[in-house]
Amino acid sequence: MNLTLLMYLVPSLVMFGCGVYGFLTRKNMIAIMISLELMLNSVDINFVVFNRYLFPGQMDGMFFTLFAIAIAAAETALALAIIINVFRVARKVDINELTKLKF
Amino acid sequence: MDYSQFLFMPQEIGLLFVFLLVFIYDTFMPARMGKHLPMFATILTALYTVYAFFPCPDSWGMAFGGMFESNPATWVMKNILNVGVVIVMLQSIKWTNDDFVSVRRGEFYELILLTLFGMFLMISARHFLLFVIGLETASLPIAALAAFEKRYYESHEAAAKYVFTAVFSSAIFMLGISFVYGMSGSLYFQEIGSQIVGVKSPLLILAVAFVIAGVGYKLSLVPFHQWTADVYQGAPTAVTSYLSVISKGAAAFAFMVILVQVFGAVYSQVWQWMLYAIIILTITIGNLFAMRQRNLKRFLAYSSISQAGYIMLGVIAASQVGMTSMIYYVLVYIFSNLAAFGVIAVIERATGRVTMDDYNGLFKTNPWLAFTMMLAMFSLGGIPPFAGFFSKFFIFVGACHTGSVAIYVLVFIALVNTIISLYYYLLVVKAMFIRQDECVIPYIDSHWTEEIALTVCVMGIIAVGVASGIYTFLNQVTETITPMFNMVG
């Protein structure tokens, strides 16, 4: 069976959609982080697949993916540190209870 | 590799040098010298700002295979941001020497310099990889800065909200870039720009929408603005002022470069209308929500949302005049907003009070603070003869240069909103000058660094409006990059 471009792109977009859905509906901050990771990783898939199928002669997409992975790792580390800080101060990881700042 | 390419980035290298010096000072100096670190960092940054005003000979051009561009416009924009950063640093010297934050004061200055470096990369990037790296360098450390006041719960909540929206927006932005890459096979701005001439595909529209959404989060345009008020309120005031002016100014410039250089060919087909709707929403909703705020930091958050809408008027013009007026607007906005935040920071540091009712009768006890705040509010509201009036005037003129009727309507809506905004800006002035209260804020002996920062802001508010040479100079500077706007169609 030959894998076509679409067979990668559709799952990647579904993955992105799952990420957005999870970001909007999840209550637990760790789960929100996981949703964000899904979104970032689906972007990586997009880049690699476009590069592999449409522009096999160059490496731009692959390089972008490498950098995007590094950036995603930095983002996760920072977000986890902040979640831990919030937990230390408030003893909560539920995003719905972070409601002190509102009008 | 040709190392002479680094000569194209004198400002970045200078900034990196300042950062390293501050870092070395923070790490290796004995603890008793720590209290001089804020002054050291500020003076160093001020010296660097003066140095950055003098461009190296022949330092305009492309470096690193066209990834990095240095031209007079980027040079001016970076200098404006430098000035703003020096003011922010001056304002925060006293605060960083407080007992509760003094342990981490080095990190404050290091992260500020590092985010500024990221913004420089954003401004100069002509390749999406470099741009994304700059964007992340500019936005992620701000989350750490927002969580700076460890003892306050609000600070952590603000940081959590900021980091989630920042990652969410950059994911959306990168999805947009991946579509652009799939269409054009390149990540260079210019190559993409020439590839998409005449392309009419849904993918392109989607890509433009995602890119606008991604950067729109950074600029807090409506409907991507929900995080703004919470983060501005929860973060320490020094960080809020940094976030609201410097970060916003850099993002606005980079936004314009991307829209013009990458998507310039589909200006009238695709993004003019997206931006059109966004501007109307941003200005109106920012204004309407600002009216009902009692907390001054939240109030300025919504006011800065609506100011971002005005800045976007320069972007929608997509012309050299638009760019000039946008840079001018950012310059004026830096002075006026930093003056307002400076006053709030002084009062918050001394008394811990930030609501509008606390400012009742402030003029009686602290006439100079009240006077500065009044000038800032007049400038933000656009009352002549202060700089804010001229910046609004020029940005309207710049938008009208496009000549289309729709833009005239847009400018009219913006004009009506300016009048509405006067109402809530004057509420603050009214509280300070007219209303009375039993528990007025007592006289505050502000630190001399804060006084210098506020004086610089006041001088900027008055002088930038009066000195017409500044606009002429900016116009000459942007004329050198007019070829960039040839693609717009």
Cβ contact B234–A101 (<8 Å): yes
Q: Which of A83-97, B16-30, B248-262, B315-329 has the lowest mean pLDDT?
A: A83-97
Residues 6-65 of A with CB under 8 A from B: 16, 19, 23, 29, 32, 36, 39-40, 42-43, 46-47, 50-51, 54-55, 58, 60-61, 63-64
pLDDT (tens digit, 9 = 90+) per residue, A11-67? 999 999 999 999 999 999 999 999 999 999 999 999 999 999 999 989 999 999 999
Cβ contact B160–A86 (<8 Å): yes
- Predicted pLDDT at B461: 93
User: What domains, with CATH codes, occur in chain A?
Assistant: 5-97 (1.10.287.3510)
Minimal C-alpha gap between B177 and chain A (Å): 9
Say whether pLDDT at B161 is over 90. Answer: yes
Query: Which residue of A lies nearest to B230 if distances are taken between CA atoms?
Result: A101
Minimal C-alpha gap between B404 and chain A (Å): 37
* Residue listed under structure tokens 């001054």: B296
Q: Which of A47, A58, A82 sits opposite B147 (nearest CB)?
A: A82
Compute the half-sphere exposure of residue B388: CA atoms within 13 Å on the CB side of its CA.
24
Neighbour count for residue B223 (Cβ, 10 Å): 12
d(CA B303, CA B288): 9
Cβ contact B175–A46 (<8 Å): yes
What's the rounded mean pLDDT across residues B184-191?
92
Query: Which residue of B lies nearest to A5 if distances are taken between CA atoms?
Result: B182
CA distances from B158 to A33, A101, B143, B349 (A): 16, 8, 8, 19
Q: What is the ipTM of this complex?
A: 0.96
Chain B contacts of A54, Cβ < 8 Å? Answer: 182, 185
Strand ranges inside B302-409, DSSP E: none
Say whether pLDDT at B101 is over 90. Answer: no
The pLDDT mean for chain B works out to 92
User: At B188, phi and psi to the nearest 5?
Assistant: -75, 135
Given CB atoms, is B349 within the 8 Å cutoff of chain A?
Answer: no
- Predicted pLDDT at B307: 94
Say whether pLDDT at B167 is over 90. Answer: yes
Compute the half-sphere exposure of residue A56: CA atoms within 13 Å on the CB side of its CA.
3
One DSSP character per residue, B151-202 reads T-HHHHHHHHHHHHHHHHHHHHHHHHHHHHHHHHS--BHHHHHHHTTT---H
Query: Which residue of B lies nearest to A63 if distances are taken between CA atoms?
Result: B129
Task: Name the residue among B454, B329, B428, B473 with its Cα closest to residue B388.
Answer: B329
Helices (H) and strands (E) in chain B, counts: 20, 2
Say whether pLDDT at B55 is over 80. Answer: no
Domain residues for B78? 3-487
Cβ contact B147–A85 (<8 Å): yes
Chain B contacts of A16, Cβ < 8 Å? Answer: 171, 175
Task: Name the residue among B23, B181, B5 with its Cα closest to residue A68.
Answer: B181
What's the rounded mean pLDDT across residues B289-316?
93
- Predicted pLDDT at B54: 86
Q: Which of A78, A81, A101 sits opposite B157 (nearest CB)?
A: A101
Contacting residues for B463 by C-beta, under 8 A, at least 6 apart: B387
- Predicted pLDDT at B436: 83
Chain B contacts of A79, Cβ < 8 Å? Answer: 143, 160, 163-164, 167
Helices (H) and strands (E) in chain A, counts: 3, 0
- Predicted pLDDT at B448: 92
Residue B408, token pair as written in the block? 């005239």
Residue B101, token pair as written in the block? 């934050």
Q: For residues B488 and B196, is the Cβ–Cβ distance under 8 A?
A: no
Q: Which of A36, A55, A71 sits opposite B168 (nearest CB)?
A: A36
Given CB atoms, is B207 within the 8 Å cutoff of chain A?
Answer: no
Return the SS3 of B204: helix
Given CB atoms, is A74 within the 8 Å cutoff of chain B?
Answer: yes
**pLDDT cut 70: percent of chain B above it:** 100
What's the rounded mean pLDDT across residues B461-482?
91
- Predicted pLDDT at B38: 93
Domain count across chain B: 1
R_g of chain B computed on alpha carbons: 21
Compute the half-sphere exposure of residue B48: CA atoms within 13 Å on the CB side of its CA.
29
d(CA B275, CA B45): 36
Given CB atoms, is B186 within the 8 Å cutoff of chain A?
Answer: yes
Cβ contact B186–A74 (<8 Å): no
Say whether pLDDT at B56 is over 80. Answer: no
pLDDT (tens digit, 9 = 90+) per residue, B341-357? 999 999 998 888 888 88
Residue B176, token pair as written in the block? 């947009």
Given CB atoms, is B161 within the 8 Å cutoff of chain A?
Answer: yes
Say whether pLDDT at A103 is over 70. Answer: no
Q: Which of B159, B177, B181 sits opposite A82 (nearest CB)?
A: B159
- Predicted pLDDT at B488: 85
Chain B contacts of A58, Cβ < 8 Å? Answer: 185
Task: Name the residue among B169, B177, B270 with its Cα closest to residue B225.
Answer: B169
